[in-house]
């Protein structure tokens, strides 16, 4: 709680930079880090503290006309990274507490790779939660992994590898593209650039652009077909 004033100063500076340079004020933050996720009281208190901060940030944004939306990002389950401290936000109940009573400046960022590392926490569950709580997805962080693999963690490595997302598999690639198009959600490519050459990244972006165009055309075709069906029914 003693750090909240500093956070307000930081976001005030963000707001000034956004206004001065005409940047997009779409900012993503993580839930709090915690060393012991089995301590229910500590978890609850951390989430409540975060709720106080988010409500205060939303109030500051509203009263000062900040051109800013802050997305709180879903996270992997603890210990998949072999860190001494892990981030909350891998359980939908965490968002119930963190975002309770927050205004329109506080929304959700959906990380497509992280949801593969959180058991019993699907992308559709986040979407349904938003609908029930008058929130929306303000950002997609777009990458994939092979899910939780204990053999990897036992070797001291992370399952959150941030590979490029491709069609097929368990990622839900096409679903993300479709929702990004329909709801005008920014698609942020968040991959480990150490694993790819510049040429590979450029090739992937070109591939992704073509797929976005293809899904866009497919969606438009389906919408046109539905409109024609509606006309026939009315006639």
181 pLDDT above the threshold of 90:
yes
Instruction: Tell me the pLDDT tens digit for each residue of 26-83.
Output: 999 999 999 999 999 999 999 999 999 999 999 999 999 999 999 999 999 987 877 7
SS3 3: coil
Average pLDDT for 205-228 = 84
Long-range contacts of 172-175 (CB under 8 A, 24+ apart): 172/112, 172/123, 173/144, 174/211, 174/215, 175/123
Sorted by where each starts, the structural domains of the chain and their CATH numbers stand as 4-195 (3.20.20.150)
Average pLDDT, the chain: 91
Residues forming a β-bridge with 197:
none
pTM: predicted TM-score of the whole model, two decimal places: 0.90
Check residue 16 and give its pLDDT. Answer: 97
Check residue 232 and give its pLDDT. Answer: 54
Check residue 224 and give its pLDDT. Answer: 60
Instruction: Tell me the pLDDT tens digit for each residue of 86-138.
Output: 999 999 999 999 999 999 999 999 999 998 899 878 888 999 999 999 999 99
27 neighbors 10 (Cβ within 8 angstroms): no
Q: CA angle 158-160-165, nearest 5°?
A: 145
β-pairing verdict for 26-29 and 69-73: parallel
CA–CA distance, 188 with 126 (Å, rounded to integer): 18
């Amino acid at each position: 709680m003693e750090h909240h004033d500093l956070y307000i100063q930081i976001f005030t500076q963000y707001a000034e930079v956004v206004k001065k340079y005409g940047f997009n004020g779409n900012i993503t933050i993580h839930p709090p880090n915690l060393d012991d996720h089995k301590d229910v009281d500590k978890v609850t208190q951390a989430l409540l503290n975060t709720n106080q901060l988010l409500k205060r940030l939303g109030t500051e944004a509203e009263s000062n006309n900040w051109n800013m939306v802050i997305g709180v990002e879903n996270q992997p389950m603890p210990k998949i990274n072999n860190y001494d401290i892990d981030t909350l936000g891998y359980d939908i109940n965490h968002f119930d507490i963190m975002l309770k009573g927050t205004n329109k400046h506080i929304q959700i960022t959906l990380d497509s790779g992280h949801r593969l590392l959180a058991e019993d926490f699907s992308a559709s569950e986040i979407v349904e939660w938003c609908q029930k709580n008058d929130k929306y997805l303000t950002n997609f962080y777009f990458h994939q992994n092979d899910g939780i693999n204990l053999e990897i963690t036992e070797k001291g490595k992370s399952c959150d590898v941030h590979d490029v997302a491709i069609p097929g598999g368990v990622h839900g690639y096409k679903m993300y593209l479709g929702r990004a198009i329909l709801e005008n959600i920014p698609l942020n490519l968040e991959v480990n650039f150490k694993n790819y050459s510049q040429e590979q990244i450029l090739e992937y972006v070109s591939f992704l652009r073509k797929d976005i165009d293809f899904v866009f055309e497919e969606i438009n075709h389906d919408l046109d077909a539905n409109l024609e069906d509606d006309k026939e029914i009315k006639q």
